[in-house]
Amino acid sequence: MLKLFLTMAVSAATLAAATSTFAQPEPPDARAKAIVDQMTPDEQLIMVKGSFGWFSKSGDAVIAAGWVPGIKRLGLPSLRESDAGMGVANLMGKRTGDVATSLPSGLAVAATWDPDIAYRGGAMIGSEARAKTFNVLLAGGVNLVRDARNGRNFEYAGEDPLLSGVMAGQAIKGVQSNHILSTVKHFVVNDQETGRNVLSSRIDEASLRESDLLAFELAIEIGQPASVMCAYNRINGVYACENDFLLNKVLKGDWAYKGWVMSDWGSVHSAALAANSGLDHQSGYTLDKKPWFGAPLKDALAGGSVSRNRIHDMNFRIVRSFYATGLMDNPVPITPQAIDYASNAKVSQEAAEAGIVVLKNKGNILPLVLGARKVAVIGGHADVGVLSGGGSSQVRPVGGPALEIVPKGAAAAFARITYFPSSPLKALEKRYPSSQFTFNNGDDVAVATALAKDTDLVIVFANQWATESEDLVNMNLPDNQDALIEALAAANKKVVVVLQTSGPVAMPWLDKVAGVVEAWYPGSNGGEAIARVLAGDVDAAGRLPVTFPTAATQLPRPEIPGLIEKKNSKGEISYGLDYGLKAFDVDYNIEGANVGYRWFEHQKLKPLFPFGYGLSYTRFTYSGLSLDPSNSLQVNFTVKNAGKRPGIATPQIYASVPGRDGVRVKRLVGWQRVTLKPGETRSLTVRIDPRLLANFDVANQRWKVAAGAYHLVLGKSSADSSATTTVQLSELSIAP
């Protein structure tokens, strides 16, 4: 009997293996073609247009960013789309009761320099989206930080194409590991919010290819997003969603991108022109002047200005992505599923801890050693929670906001200054039970200063709120916070400033305080993350993904182009609404491809803090930078923890590349992130993508690595040089 059972088991296993071998699903292309070939002409117009989810009335629509009806006859699901810069966002959550876990800001995640953290964060929010019945996340922000005052910087991954592309690509990959769809956005050079609907980003092709486009190219290669979202703005006079060069030539031609192009909500201006220029789907048509991909597109088909083949291709790209991501084989449940918010908050907390950057640590004031000391915690609503960024990416936190402030005169639903319920003060009190903590809100400088004089240590929380659709008017901390910090520093020599900001800020008080910590927008469990870094429970591991200028005068455009007082007829700030601005240009040819630290290097400017900078609670030494004998594009080096604590090092490799203007350009070409015990030494390797050493040859439409000497620098930041070497390269030409 046992022999018979074993025989049957083996036979069943063999049969299953054989069945698996012969029943493998066809490639996404073939499966999508088979479906699209069955569509009627009317059905082919269904999936190329979606409504704003708030206004959808269909039985399977949810109140969120967007909804696209499915085609039940062919088994094609409806698309339920949610904004998802940091988590599953729902601006109507207050009404519906929906909540979600929020990752730290995009810049905070980028500050980890850890692709695995980016992937796990994406996987976490993708799992929540799936559990909430969403199958499309409008995630993957990869616009470069060209201006420190951009209102959406907190959604993005920094100023460098390699860092941004890798981190965003891994986050997209994580989202889609749940068999749902992710976008990458906003394509392209959507690098300021002021006048985003009317401005034209002026930039030459070579500079564009070497900067913003390269970031998108890398993110798409790594993440394979189902969709690319074209932006609001124009590029060299042509709207992004009508830009044949960018959508057809570069994206679908040079990069052979097989997914579909969706519009941003309210960024479509035509039917035939947009469709023929490469736009596959009009998203949120209720925010456009017309449902362009409805009756106008049908008329264009009838009149012959858009071909039936083009409509077929639009649908093929959409349906193919259903198969490529596994959505068709793993349908999203139609009823909400349980979510382990506590576990997901730990994912967010780990990212926040890894991305918090210690910028100054005079006298090793950090990590905090308190004992029975009196500590003043001042400002930033640190008694109740941590700050988050505003706009379409706003997550409504589990438990509801600790505090929500409506800016005076705010005219749009997403202009809410929201604090997540994770108090840094309470986390510190729990960690230091012997210390006496006193909180003061900082509104009255005299009262706060008197408290500072009577304490052993002052921790001041300084906040800068930013939101989509509104750029920051300057780089200063708002609401008199700079004056507050100056006064506190005059009253007490032991002042630690914790910044919760969208991005870089000016620090006129820097020389007068003992410590500065950049916590960004730290997300769910952000208060606990801040406390753990301050206490040294974890190493200070974050490294800047953006350069911190001393002031806006160091930026390529000291004044934000088009910036005016954005008020409606009642004198109210009109966040995200029609500013009444006329079309204007933003000249990105000023810096071209030299974004961020490259600009500072090129202009010989010294920033407040350089790209890649961040202090640790231990000490690292870098040495032994050498080329691999078998591969001139692979470098080896050694890192040692020379301190007394375990810590996380992020050695960075920069190359000095001959620029198109004859001046050498510094570029990040690779990095490693490694955890080391005290005294531990590790040999590491970085492989260099040749595109990072190349200039784009517009005439021949190729990447070209010029023959000659290339200097490689190993350092702790873009301004550091711990070891150097030189490689001689032969000329190399690479197809885009």
CATH at 673: 2.60.40.10
Pair of tokens at residue 477 = 């901390």
Distance, in Å, from the CA atom of 693 to the CA atom of 711, rounded to the nearest integer, reads 11
Distance, in Å, from the CA atom of 506 to the CA atom of 484, rounded to the nearest integer, reads 14
Same domain, 639 and 520: no
- Is residue 225 within 8 A of residue 233, CB to CB? The reply is no
At 54 the pLDDT is: 61
At 93 the pLDDT is: 65
CA 620 from centre of chain: 29
Is residue 173 in a domain? Answer: no
Same domain, 391 and 519: yes
**pLDDT confidence band for 546 (50 / 70 / 90):** very high
Is residue 441 in a domain? Answer: yes
User: Which residues neighbour 158 within 8 Å (Cβ) at sequence distance 6 or greater?
Assistant: 107, 110, 144, 145, 164, 167, 545, 546, 596, 611
Same domain, 625 and 530: no
User: Which residues neighbour 672 within 8 Å (Cβ) at sequence distance 6 or greater?
Assistant: 639, 650, 651, 684, 685, 686
Query: Per-residue pLDDT tens for 126-177?
Result: 999 999 999 999 999 999 999 999 999 999 999 999 999 999 999 999 999 9
Same domain, 519 and 639: no
- Is residue 138 within 8 A of residue 183, CB to CB? The reply is yes
At 4 the pLDDT is: 31
Distance, in Å, from the CA atom of 64 to the CA atom of 93, rounded to the nearest integer, reads 9
Same domain, 376 and 519: yes
pLDDT at 3 over 70: no
Distance, in Å, from the CA atom of 414 to the CA atom of 468, rounded to the nearest integer, reads 8
Q: Is 374 exposed, middle or buried (0-12, 13-18, 19+ CB in 10 A)?
A: middle
Distance, in Å, from the CA atom of 725 to the CA atom of 105, rounded to the nearest integer, reads 36
Same domain, 411 and 531: yes
Is residue 425 in a domain? Answer: yes
- Whole-model pTM? 0.94
- Is residue 36 within 8 A of residue 312, CB to CB? The reply is yes
User: Which residues neighbour 149 within 8 Å (Cβ) at sequence distance 6 or greater?
Assistant: 192, 471, 472, 473, 474, 475, 552, 560
pLDDT at 2 over 50: no
- Is residue 389 within 8 A of residue 467, CB to CB? The reply is yes
Query: Per-residue pLDDT tens for 246-266?
Result: 999 999 999 999 999 999 999
Mean pLDDT of the 201-209 span? 98
- Is residue 632 within 8 A of residue 727, CB to CB? The reply is yes
At 92 the pLDDT is: 65
- In DSSP terms, 667 is beta-bridged to 655
Helices (H), 454-589: 481-491, 526-535
pLDDT at 20 over 60: no
- In DSSP terms, 178 is beta-bridged to none
CA-to-CA separations, 409 to 92, 406, 568, in angstroms, rounded = 19, 8, 9
The SS3 call for residue 147 is: coil
At 570 the pLDDT is: 53
- In DSSP terms, 185 is beta-bridged to 141
User: Which residues neighbour 108 within 8 Å (Cβ) at sequence distance 6 or greater?
Assistant: 351, 352, 355, 356, 519, 520, 521, 522, 523, 542
- Is residue 575 within 8 A of residue 469, CB to CB? The reply is yes
Pair of tokens at residue 275 = 């469709």
Is residue 560 in a domain? Answer: no
Roughly what angle, to the nearest 10 degrees, separates helices 161-176 and 212-223? 30
Look up residue 258 and give its amino acid.
Answer: K
Query: Per-residue pLDDT tens for 548-563?
Result: 999 999 999 999 998 7
Domain boundary among 535, 551, 575: 535
Residue labelled with tokens 């002409």: 41
Pair of tokens at residue 675 = 């955890």
∠ CA 385-500-620, nearest 5°, is 115
- Is residue 548 within 8 A of residue 607, CB to CB? The reply is yes
Question: pLDDT higher for 579 or 238?
Answer: 238
Query: Per-residue pLDDT tens for 276-309?
Result: 999 999 999 989 999 999 999 999 999 999 999 9
pLDDT at 427 over 80: yes
- Please provide residue 154's backbone torsions phi and psi, each rounded to the nearest 5 degrees: -65, -15
Return the CATH number at 520: 3.40.50.1700
**Euclidean distance between the first and the last CA atom of the chain, given in angstroms as a whole number:** 65
∠ CA 149-154-157, nearest 5°, is 110
The CB-side HSE value for 325 (13 A sphere, CA atoms) comes to: 33
User: 48-52, 163-167, 701-705: which range is least confident on average?
Assistant: 48-52
At 414 the pLDDT is: 66
Mean pLDDT, the chain, as a whole number? Answer: 92
- Is residue 247 within 8 A of residue 277, CB to CB? The reply is yes
**pLDDT confidence band for 413 (50 / 70 / 90):** low
Is residue 529 in a domain? Answer: yes
The full length of the chain comes to: 736
At 19 the pLDDT is: 38
Number of domains in the chain: 2
Is residue 588 in a domain? Answer: no
Distance, in Å, from the CA atom of 585 to the CA atom of 59, rounded to the nearest integer, reads 44
Distance, in Å, from the CA atom of 140 to the CA atom of 614, rounded to the nearest integer, reads 25
Same domain, 501 and 646: no
Same domain, 369 and 513: yes
pLDDT > 70 fraction of the chain, expressed in percent and rounded: 91
pLDDT at 637 over 50: yes
Same domain, 478 and 364: yes
Question: pLDDT higher for 15 or 120?
Answer: 120
Same domain, 527 and 659: no
Mean pLDDT of the 218-227 span? 98
Q: What is the largest CA-CA distance in the chain?
A: 90
Structural domain of 356: 341-535
**Nearest C-alpha neighbor of 383 from the set 427, 423, 420, 419:** 423
At 179 the pLDDT is: 98
Is residue 324 in a domain? Answer: no
Is residue 217 in a domain? Answer: no
Domain boundary among 518, 535, 552: 535
Domain boundary among 535, 557, 590: 535
Q: Is 653 exposed, middle or buried (0-12, 13-18, 19+ CB in 10 A)?
A: buried
Look up residue 638 and give its amino acid.
Answer: T
